[in-house]
Structure 1
């Protein structure tokens, strides 16, 4: 009975994805055709859709709500508890902040929000997702050594190009025994290679892709000696991102620990 109900839920999610694609077919089709032509000339070309939600955060928020359907902000249930001083890298429009407030998990938390897109930050402030922010990338974060207990990458690591430099800065910013928490998409396609690679997606832009083994080896290759993987697991939550028809995914949850100096 439980398995039957689970299959019905997954079937409804996949049906919702098909409806979503049918409604937006003209936009998706044009975006895909133009993108395929342009990346032959410029491998880093940004598609119409990527530029749309970079400029208009409301469009990005709508995209996130669709791809997280029916969990919406509850996709962050996968994260472990957060407390004390936490740096959120890639805060975007404040989806994680809204989740923490709604779940009553923001009380013992001093959350610092960082993003490179000022449009997303301003949208988050208007909707009162957060009151403070840093408009910067992590490599230029204006904090002293050992300032944070935790650094969180919630569904954003695949957008960051140079992970070696980023993790080196994480090492500086973390206190001893501090942790990095990563929640990121991992590929479940049967022929997915066991290594990381970059691709230019017409929906997400230039991103990293990896399966579970690929993510582990990618992190091991890019982490400084003082940062060690404590745990890595795949959690397949029931949402459109993980059960779409083209690129089935799971949430890769990684905890990385900073060793004592």
Structure 2
């Protein structure tokens, strides 16, 4: 019996029950496992910060690495030179701890300003790459240019380049209907957020009301997918508690200890007659 496997799965079940016990009421058993979970998470994040971020992105760039040679004497991984300019990031980062000093706490704003500036630049670039593509994709054709209803399915050997170009440049009836629903939803939702003027006409009132209902449908779908994801996590954890962990522990108790190897008897050497 492997005692480590029994302790691992047993503590996993107890920790799961302890964390879910808060659904009944606040208790000390839940508090204990909450502190254990937070402590393990803090330790894991600290080690992960060094191994996956500081060591890879900073320490190796400062020190570099030597070349590794295989058994045949060939260079498997070439040497990487170190750049000592990266060492200047250490004192800049250490300035952040001066926030605890009343006299020099102003210096802690230097690394914060650098981080916020870099983050703002990255977010501006990410915003353009993410949302400008969505704005361009919202301009969709709503009139079909063919009488065919659906996009043809590809044959076994696939489409040729000319066939792919023809399919991509053709707006089928099913695509036109899908684009029409998309454009109608987009225009109605945008009209719901136009507060510059009062919607007095029946058309604007209909569009704003439709936009509100379509928003509720979208939020409901997002909420439903979120609940389904949470329930999938709950189902997996309950499977661990009621199925996986008991089976693993049962297998350990049913396993027989390995028998000691039997050494064959050693016969005494036979001396030949003289």
Give TM-score, length-normalised by structure 1.
Answer: 0.22
Q: Is the radius of gyration larger for structure 1 or structure 2?
A: 2
Say which structure is richer in strand.
Answer: 1
Say which structure is richer in helix.
Answer: 2
Give TM-score, length-normalised by structure 2.
Answer: 0.21
